[in-house]
Amino acid sequence: MLNLRTGFIIAGVVIMSFIMAQNVNSGGPGASGELAKRSEIADKYKWNLKDIFENEDLWEKDFKWIESNVDKYKSFAGKLGATAKILLECFTFDDEISNKFERCYLYANLSKDLEVSDGKYQDMYERINNLGSRIAAVASFIRPEILSLPEGKIAEFIKMEKGLKLYEHRLNDMLRMKLHTLTKGEEQILAYSNPLADVYMETYRMYTNADMKFPMVKDDKGQDIELSHARYYSTMMSLDRGFRERGYKAFFQPFIQLANTITTLYNGSIKYKIYMSKSRKYSGAVEAALTPNNIPVDVYKNLVNTVGENLKPMHRFASLKKKLLGLDKLHAYDTYVTLFPAVKRKYTYDEAVDICLQALKPLGDEYIKDLKFAFDNRWVDVYETKNKRSGAYSSGTVKGIHPYVLLNWAGELNDVFTLAHEMGHTLHSYYTQKNQPYPYADYPIFLAEVASITNEILLMNYLIDNVKTKEEKLALLETYMNNIQGTFYRQTRFAEFEMKVREMAEAGKFMNPEDMAKFFGSLFQKYWGPDMVTDKEEEYSWMRIHHFFYNFYVYQYATGMAAAEALAAEILSKGRPAVDKYLGFLKAGKSDYAINILKKAGVDMTKPGPVMAVVKRAGRSEERRVGKECRSRGS
């Protein structure tokens, strides 16, 4: 069955689109001019991949073991209903294959991301991907064969074979998905098509991470710098508006030049997902994406509708930003610059580590001890280097292996938040794999952003509680508003874009680059309101959002923030009892459905309350307070 873990389902990438660490490398090696070489970075700031395999020979050994044992699946075909013992043996074997596969995949994927243009690691990644498709195909009989058994047979087997009790939730979940499970032959055909899903994303990644060449621009000191994904946000935070505009327009040049290619890749990925959703008898793409995790479609649609009907806080924020910056017109490249430059500072990575250890103390001694262990044992790859993948992520859950965090450090406050965010994912994965047996040693994607954003909220609370001046506090409140904009409103905007594009495609209307740009631009204008100017570059900025190549992922940043706000409030107000419930959430894995796990932690995402709570906070006094304080000083 090859149950790939959460991190792998989303290609190992979990990135906050606003405060993600794509803003690297000021303050670190290679901070100006050419990007640093990997050999120039101290080992303590680089991953230790030997925690997965001591060397590549051991990777090859496991790869060959999997390769030589794959056909053993065939010995179970047609026999799963014979005895409870055979069914248990099949599940046990599948777990062994899957766990070894995940280790091999993790090693290949991380190695590739450190050197995206290295042919050796590309080849390793392709080999393990192809092997995964082979496993999926040869094991594709398991689900349909189980579902073909007479009603009540599974329950009978569980009573007969003690070991099957472990798989009861998984078996019940299979029965829930019976309508969307095909015959043995049909499942095999779909499994053989799996590599096609990667073509669109991998081509996009290769272009944007390895082949894409950004122009040189003059920075705020008049020096020529090489733009990159990592340096884009640092540019957007510059106090020099001319530099921001130059960097903004230059950054999107290569995207716009390849608009036809990227749009074709995106439409291709949509066509594949439509093919899969229709093959599995879903009514539409949203249902196909949410049903496997038992998330009601209304959770997605209610988010889009509720936020779309409550955009006044965003519009007021735009008006406030424009007024306090003293601008006639507000552009996208003005949205990241601070209103409080006097308190703007750089952070070293080591300083950020200390801040996170202090900020997350409300989560208890166990959490802090494990967090420190992660920092001290090279779980984090910190600095941007030439040919390293852009962005930030936590690698996901592999039983018996700790997670890995990729950063591209720029020294901004945003990077401190990104570190807290990714360590939230990491401890979530770590606790899951430590506390759950293999079948449930992962967590549903719907829960993926909750732990990360909870960490951010606790970090913000700590920073506000420890400011020395009113100016610093106002700057942090501004950052909080930026976070709501970036994590809640922006991601919901992306979710609306993705939903509408898919709906049109399902009706037979695939957008060309101009249509796609026009629609994306219209949503940008809708969410930011009349004080914002939508530039041509912003219309085409959808092309840099790699999440669109996944399957309805972005909405979970917004729902994750809603759940995290509620959980953090409980932790800070109730202490130990709330922390215990929260740690239970981190350790729950897939032992239950995501909605139920959150309910046990104290949040009901089937109701509009958590989403509306964020909307109300966005429109609350913090925003007016910043404006009032600034006006009182004549700022």
State the average pLDDT over residues 270-288: 92
Long-range contacts of 318-326 (CB under 8 A, 24+ apart): 318/528, 318/529, 318/531, 318/532, 319/529, 319/531, 320/623, 320/626, 320/627, 322/531, 323/627, 324/627, 324/630, 324/635
Place of tokens 């149950």: 3
Q: Is 422 annotated in the active site?
A: yes
- Mean pLDDT of the chain, nearest integer: 89
Instruction: Report pLDDT for 193.
Output: 85
Q: Give one DSSP letter per residue of 31-62, joined into a string.
A: -SSSPPPGGGS-GGGS--GGGT-SSHHHHHHH
Q: Is 237 helix (H, G, I), strand (E, B) or coil?
A: coil
pLDDT exceeding 70 applies to what percent of the chain? 92
Question: Residue 324 contacts by C-beta under 8 Å, 6 or more apart in sequence?
Answer: 339, 627, 630, 635
Instruction: Give the model's confidence band at 630: pLDDT under 50 very low, under 70 low, under 90 confident, else very high.
Output: low
| 626: pLDDT strictly greater than 80 | no
Whether residue 510 contacts residue 270, with contact meaning beta carbons closer than 8 Å, is answered with yes
Continuous H helices in 148-258: 153-160, 168-176, 184-192, 194-206, 229-236, 241-257
Over residues 100-122, the pLDDT tens digits come to 999 999 999 999 999 988 889 99
Could you say which of 202, 422, 498, 623 is catalytic? Answer: 422
**Residue-wise pLDDT tens digits, 208-263:** 888 888 999 998 899 998 888 878 888 998 999 999 999 999 999 999 999 999 99
Range name among 43-47, 167-171, 229-233, 394-398 with the lowest pLDDT average: 229-233
141/193 Cα distance (integer angstroms): 15
Residues 412-458 pLDDT 10s: 888 999 999 999 999 999 999 999 999 999 998 889 999 999 999 99
Phi and psi torsions of 186, nearest 5°: -65, -40
Name the β-bridge partners of 226. Answer: 216
CA-CA distance, 470 to 486, in Å (whole number)? 24
